[in-house]
Amino acid sequence: MTQPPTPLPTLKLIENVRRGRTFRTLVLAGRVLSDYPVLLNTVNSIVQKVWSPRKALHVKEVNSNTFLFSFEEARDRLKALRGGPWSLNGNHLVLKEWPVGLALDDINFSSSDFWVHVHGLLPEQLEESNAQCIAECVGIFLEMDLSVDSGVCHNDVMRIKVRLDTQKPLMPGITNTRPDSSSMWLRLWYERLPRFCMQCGRMGHLKQICSFNGTGWYGVDREPYEANKFGPWMCADHNPSKIKIPTPDLVHREVEGAFGSPRRGRSLPPSPRAARGAWARGNGRWALF
């Protein structure tokens, strides 16, 4: 007679809440969006240089293209988290905090926050309610830049922070209806945009290996900017803009202000030109971040 299988043990382990809380304030989980494996040494070398932590930063590979960043100082972690989005050799690095109650394998890396410029608005339309409406077409609305220094109060450009679904195509623009019922095209430019597929508009791969058969955004007006055509013009960093784009230096200064004045002799992170990738129009390739 066949014996019934022995049931597997079920445990309820104790939790040290204080230790867990302290641990989570010093770590970030990250995933590189790439069809190719990214080496641990490459990731470690780039983040050590770009994030320029005050104290030690340890990088551990936990799965293919998934890494755990362990900081010895909380402000270094905060700088990395607030300073995004980041790219490694042009591939987008999705950074996430480790949520309470989730194992590392359960963290969702399918979203990332980007600042988006909306060009072509009427001055009367520079309202937060409109920003929320536009953001809902692109992703999830987080905030609108209302600072005078950014120039949004004096131009036809709106700057909004949006949580994007990294598995969906980037939206190149939106059709807006004028007061006279005519249509106008609102161009969307993304700050510090990593390389993406010019065929389907998704991050994580290039056109040469795209498997989506050009399935990007459909049903949008092509005039006058060929709406469902993707290209480097969607990168706000490489377009002449009326908006001043905050740099990693500014983020570091803001974090230092929250924690206290920076130590003397410590340099801030690289300049924006050195810290972000550039589109080389001549050969159609992305430079290193």
Domain boundary among 61, 79, 104: 104
Least confident of 38-47, 195-204, 260-269: 260-269
Residue 267 lies in a domain: no
Q: Could you tell me if 139 and 206 lie in one domain?
A: yes
| Residues 228 and 134 occupy one common structural domain | yes
**Which residue(s) pair with 32 in the sheet?**
93
Alpha carbons 207 and 74: distance in angstroms, whole number: 39
Q: CA distances (Å), 34 to each of 48, 101, 191, in order?
A: 20, 28, 19
Q: Which residue has the higher pLDDT, 260 or 63?
A: 63
Specify whether 92 is located in the same domain as 129. no
Residue 194 has pLDDT above 80, yes or no: yes
Radius of gyration of the chain measured on its C-alpha atoms = 22
Q: Are strands 111-119 and 183-190 parallel, antiparallel or unpaired?
A: antiparallel
Residue 244 has pLDDT above 60, yes or no: no
* pLDDT at residue 240, rounded to an integer: 52
31 plus 98 within the same structural domain: yes
Confidence band (pLDDT; 50, 70, 90) for 162?
A: very high
Closest CA to 34 of 81, 93, 80: 93
pLDDT higher than 60, residue 191? yes
Within this chain, do residues 94 and 118 fall inside the same structural domain, yes or no?
A: no
- Please say whether the dihedral angle defined by the alpha carbons of residues 162, 166, 168 and 169, taken in this order, is positive or negative: positive
Predicted local distance difference test score (pLDDT) of residue 163: 96
Specify the pLDDT at position 44: 95
Domain of 218 in residue numbering reads as 111-238
- Domains: count for the chain: 2
Backbone torsions φ then ψ of 258, nearest 5 degrees: -75, -30
Length of the chain: 289
The mean pLDDT value for 122-134 works out to 90
Lowest mean pLDDT segment, chosen from 16-20, 107-111, 139-143: 16-20
Q: What is the pLDDT of residue 57?
A: 95
Question: What are the structure tokens assigned to 125, written together?
Answer: 């339309």
Over residues 85-110, the mean pLDDT reads: 90
Within a domain: residue 34? yes
Q: Are residues 147 and 231 in the same domain?
A: yes
Hey, what amino acid is at 82?
Answer: R
In this model, does residue 24 exceed pLDDT 90?
no
pLDDT of residue 86: 93
Do 116 and 221 share a domain, yes or no? yes
Tokens of 137: 């077409």
Lookup: tokens for 120: 């072509």
- Mean pLDDT of the 202-230 span: 63
